[in-house]
Structure 1
Amino acid sequence: MDKTTQERAKMSGIVPNRNQILTLGDLVEFKEDMLREVKRVMRECASGAPGKKWLKSAEVKKLLGISHGFLQSLRDSGVLPFTKIGGSIYYDYEDITFMMSANKSA
């Protein structure tokens, strides 16, 4: 590489500088972060619970396997509480689980 190419590569981050060199500690920390995240995703999948408190309409429809119209009727009838911010509608995951439990038949 000529000097200009080396300078451009260094500026774009391709050529590592002393602040970009990985240490064994960095790799161990990265591994632990990845394992924690994989475990969290696995727990979430096993429990069926999403990893967040507030869900958008598309997420609720997918979670419950319902259509847009049925979700609309749950909102309109007051069965499923929601919060509207701007043009987005959000549902509390706890409200969804409560609705499902309250309507469970024996």
Structure 2
Amino acid sequence: MNLEIITKEDLRKFESRLLTKIKKLVQLNGHGVSKQWLKSNDVRKLLKISPGTLQNLRINGTLRYTKIGSIVYYKQEDINKLPEGGVK
């Protein structure tokens, strides 16, 4: 039986590499396609709302989000639906 031991350091390295790759994928804005994912600051500017209002939209489920590491991302399509009555 071949046994491999994975250390905490191995997991930290894997997490770091994985987060780096995911962030690169999220940040890609290829071939003239509009950005699919926006960061909190971009969403606040677009909607002209405060950080607290954006947080309330997350908390009450009006605006879906994805958190990668410490950065919160929002789908452009969900933001576009907000003026039409919100996202549930």
Please report the TM-score for the alignment, with normalisation by the length of structure 1.
0.48
- What residue is the counterpart of 1:23 in the other structure? none
Q: Which has more helix, going by share of residues?
A: 1
**Please, which runs of 5 or more residues in structure 2 have no aligned partner?**
1-31
Give the aligned partner of residue 53 of structure 2: 70
Query: After superposition, where does 1:1-106 map in structure 2 within 5 Å?
Result: 51-103=34-86
With normalisation by structure 2, the TM-score equals 0.58
Unaligned 5+ segments in structure 1 are 1-39, 41-49
RMSD of the TM alignment (CA)?
1.7
- Specify which structure has the bigger relative contact order, considering alpha-carbon pairs within 8 angstroms and separated by 6 or more residues: 2
Q: Offset at 1:70?
A: 0.2
> Whose radius of gyration is greater, 1 or 2?
1
Aligned residues: 55
Shift of 1:98: 1.3
Runs of 4+ more than 2 Å apart: none
CA distance in 1, matches of 2:85, 2:65: 17
Determine the C-alpha separation between the residues in 2 that align with 1:97 and 1:51: 13
